[in-house]
Amino acid sequence: MSEHEGTFCLVVHSHLPWLAHHGSWPVGEEWLYQAWAHSYLPVMDLLRRFADEGRRDVLTLGVTPVLAAQLDDPYCLRAFHEWLGHWQLRARQASSLWGHDPLLRELGATEYQRSTKAIEEFETRWRHGFSPILRSFVDNGTVELLGGPLAHPFQPLLDERVRSFALRGGLDDTALRIGRRPEGIWAPECGYEPGMEHGYAAAGVRRFMVDGPSLRGDTSAARTVGSSDVVCFGRDLEVTYRVWSPKAGYPGHAAYRDFHTWDHRVGLKPSRVTGKTVEPADKAPYDPALAADTLGLHVKDFVDTVVTRLRALRARHGRESLVVAAYDTELFGHWWHEGPAWLEGVLRALPEAGVRVTTLRGALEAGHLGAPVDLPASSWGSGKDWRVWDGEQVADMVQANRELQARLLAGRSAGTARDAVRDQAVREAMLALSSDWAFMVTKDSAADYARRRARVHTERFDTLDSLAREGRTERAAELAAEFRAQDDPFGQLDARGLEQD
């Protein structure tokens, strides 16, 4: 290795459940369009600027198949375009309503400028969806792409045959969109049970992410798992939690724009955090200059944290070491307004501080591979175990999913012709098995919506399955077409693939 302080990998995981045609506000399509406007657009713009500068291996980008499906979907593209136009109108109205306060008047003008730029960006670069944009960054080496299973299921709770089908289907979906299969995946929720590496190897997966405690805190190098050649990377929590943790992190600073406080007349956020115990009505107006000053301090603090960590690891291990920080992409812009600017600042400042910035693949090429490891059952959720997705609060959902999988597998047929009804039934089952629903229930985040979504997809599967068993093919075809008009991710999904497992 050449002389560096060490190596830093930023991994960002882009995921939302299937939201199209399933409600709007407060949970539903609005969630998708806010994340699209405030995270996906600015992060892709950042990557484009790095690509234009000739920067390669900037970061490792996870994109789940179910999110990619929405960002390519014609209905979602049209609806998001309309959403951007409404954002522009709301910003114009805000400029009038907020005219009494100089800071808010300026914020309204800035919102109008941002919405106008977003419309221009969308109309010129996103007309054909997300995949052409993503493919360009993969082809020119700006990012390393991580894929994943079809609808982001919690894999340890799946029957191995369903798990294999979902993973192969997800990798195939990504290959269809960008022209190549990812070598790495973001395992949904970093969920792992011993032995899963063999399924990964069979599917062509060479590397995946786990949380730091799975490696007992020693995340200074990647490691092969068990007797396989599949490599895991651990998230360094000492560094990662500097930004975002269950209790603290930069986004909660008083100077930053407050995510939770709205002016409901215009659907915009006018306030800064001000203080954790300050009521929304008493929060101070957002001040971009104050936020920018704070952002500069937080960029420096993070770079100092990474350098200090790398030096400590070098002293402990006697070699250059690795730090992997991993976050949801939606943190940058959607949850944390200043996040994209912080991201750019850090990615520019770290190389200047002597840190090698690269991808997971690049870290292996730089020699950061340690001894094999046997991983425990784990996740990146509360307790670092499975309690979020397999706990008491969601025991009924876990049982329902187990029974759904049994019916799914029992319904397999030996037919050779592709069956549109069976394809849609399997598609509904995949959506029902999304990890998001249990997460939202356990965390009491739109729990009613989550339970309803899991139930709706399960009921649709059962309806199609029952009609097919009864030989009512005409009615089954009618309903399958009706359901497909709402839920049509993974158009290439072929239910016959379950026969391979």
- The C-alpha atoms of residue 268 and residue 91 are separated, in whole angstroms, by 8
Q: Is 325 helix (H, G, I), strand (E, B) or coil?
A: strand
> Token digits for 260?
């939770």
Question: One of 30, 159, 238, 328 is an active-site residue; which one?
Answer: 328
Give percent above pLDDT 90 in the chain: 94
Do 424 and 344 lie in one domain? The reply is no
Task: Summarize the confidence of residues 459-483 as an average pLDDT.
Answer: 97
Q: Is 336 helix (H, G, I), strand (E, B) or coil?
A: strand
- Residue 169 resides in a domain: no
pLDDT at 244 over 80: yes
- The C-alpha atoms of residue 425 and residue 462 are separated, in whole angstroms, by 8
- Residue 59 resides in a domain: yes
pLDDT at 1: 42
- The C-alpha atoms of residue 204 and residue 201 are separated, in whole angstroms, by 5
Is position 499 annotated as part of the catalytic site?
Answer: no
- 271 phi, psi to nearest 5 deg: -115, 160
Task: Summarize the confidence of residues 154-178 as an average pLDDT.
Answer: 97
Per-residue confidence band for 415, with pLDDT thresholds at 50, 70 and 90: low
Q: Which domain holds residue 440?
A: 391-500
Q: Enumerate the H helices of 36-178 as residue ranges.
A: 41-52, 65-72, 74-97, 102-125, 131-139, 160-178
- Residue 160 resides in a domain: no
Per-residue confidence band for 2, with pLDDT thresholds at 50, 70 and 90: low
- Residue 386 resides in a domain: no
Do 138 and 283 lie in one domain? The reply is yes
Do 363 and 419 lie in one domain? The reply is no
311: Cα separation from own chain's centroid: 31
Q: What residues pair up with 62 in beta bridges, in sequence order?
A: 13, 146
Do 193 and 287 lie in one domain? The reply is yes
For residue 7, CA distances in Å to 128, 129, 298, 370 come to: 36, 34, 20, 14
Task: Summarize the confidence of residues 458-478 as an average pLDDT.
Answer: 96
Q: What is the DSSP string of 49-60?
A: HHHHTT--S-EE
Question: One of 189, 236, 436, 465 is an active-site residue; which one?
Answer: 189
- Residue 171 resides in a domain: no
pLDDT at 441 over 70: yes
Strand-pair category, 222-225 with 231-235? antiparallel
pLDDT at 414 over 60: no
Domain end among 310, 338, 373: 373
Contact, 278 vs 293, CB < 8 A? no
Do 369 and 409 lie in one domain? The reply is no
Contact, 188 vs 205, CB < 8 A? no
- The C-alpha atoms of residue 326 and residue 9 are separated, in whole angstroms, by 8
Do 353 and 308 lie in one domain? The reply is yes
Do 361 and 412 lie in one domain? The reply is no
pLDDT in tens, 381-409: 999 999 999 999 999 999 999 999 999 99
CB atoms near residue 371 (< 10 Å): 8
- Residue 181 resides in a domain: no
Is position 328 annotated as part of the catalytic site?
Answer: yes
For residue 148, CA distances in Å to 165, 223, 265, 336 come to: 12, 20, 39, 25
- Residue 178 resides in a domain: no
- 147 phi, psi to nearest 5 deg: -100, -155
pLDDT in tens, 442-456: 999 999 999 999 999
Do 191 and 227 lie in one domain? The reply is yes
Q: What residues pair up with 325 in beta bridges, in sequence order?
A: 10
pLDDT at 32: 98
**Better-scored residue on pLDDT, 245 or 216:** 216
Do 58 and 137 lie in one domain? The reply is yes
pLDDT at 474: 96
Task: Summarize the confidence of residues 271-276 as an average pLDDT.
Answer: 95
Do 132 and 230 lie in one domain? The reply is yes
- The C-alpha atoms of residue 151 and residue 231 are separated, in whole angstroms, by 23
Q: Which residues of 331-342 are buried (b: 16+ CB within 10 A; e: fewer)?
A: bbbbbbbbbbbb
Mean pLDDT, the chain, as a whole number?
Answer: 96
Q: Is 185 helix (H, G, I), strand (E, B) or coil?
A: strand
Domain end among 373, 405, 427: 373
Peptide bond into 26 cis (omega under 30): yes
The CATH number covering residue 493 comes to 1.20.1430.10
Do 341 and 412 lie in one domain? The reply is no
pLDDT in tens, 59-117: 999 999 999 999 999 999 999 999 999 999 999 999 899 988 999 999 999 999 999 99
Question: How many domains does the chain fold into?
Answer: 2
Per-residue confidence band for 263, with pLDDT thresholds at 50, 70 and 90: very high
